[in-house]
Amino acid sequence: MTVTGRGEIEVAPDQAILDLGGEARAASFDDALAGAGRAVFEMTEVLRGHGVGDADLRTQGPHTWTITDDGGRVDAYVCSLQLTARVGDPAVAGRWLAECAVAAGDTGRANGVRFAVRDRA
């Protein structure tokens, strides 16, 4: 005898994943990188202040590109850095995302929130 089946279960998320970043435009590559880095640093400080540890913080980048004029000359450099933070309480995700955006200022990017279950077993 062969028995096959399929099961499905739905559970409430027990963590949130914040997708954040910094993006800066400047006349030099170094200044663009520094601006994006400052934004990510400020966001990281907010999250650490709420108890988010290094194991739950990930950075990615830099991603850089240039903005050119019609003649192909570089007008500006743009640098983007990403920060992903795993937050243990989904209820605080929106507030913390907003706090990070305020701390980073105009160069901060709040790219969204995802919800997940820590133990998928």
Task: Encode pLDDT of 2-54 as tens digits.
Answer: 888 887 778 888 999 999 999 999 999 999 999 999 999 999 999 999 999 99
Q: Where are the domains of the chain?
A: 20-111
Fold of 20-111: Alpha-Beta Plaits (3.30.70)
Q: Are 96 and 46 in contact (CB under 8 A)?
A: yes
Of 91, 104, 29, which is closest to residue 64 (Cα–Cα)? 29
Instruction: Please report the pLDDT score of residue 40 as a whole number.
Output: 98
pLDDT tier at 99 (50, 70, 90 boundaries)? very high
Q: Distance between the two ends of the chain, CA-based, in angstroms?
A: 28
pTM here is 0.86
Query: Do 81 and 36 meet the contact criterion of CB atoms below 8 Å apart?
Result: yes
52-84 pLDDT tens trace? 999 999 999 999 999 999 999 999 999 999 999
**What is the H or E stretch that residue 86 is in?**
strand 74-87
Residue 121 has what pLDDT?
Answer: 65
Residue 59: partners with Cβ closer than 8 Å, 6 or more residues away: 40, 81, 82, 83, 84
CA distances from 117 to 6, 19, 20, 89, 96 (A): 20, 16, 20, 11, 19
Rounded distance between C-alpha atoms, residue 4 and residue 118, angstroms: 28
For residue 34, give both structure tokens: 């520094």
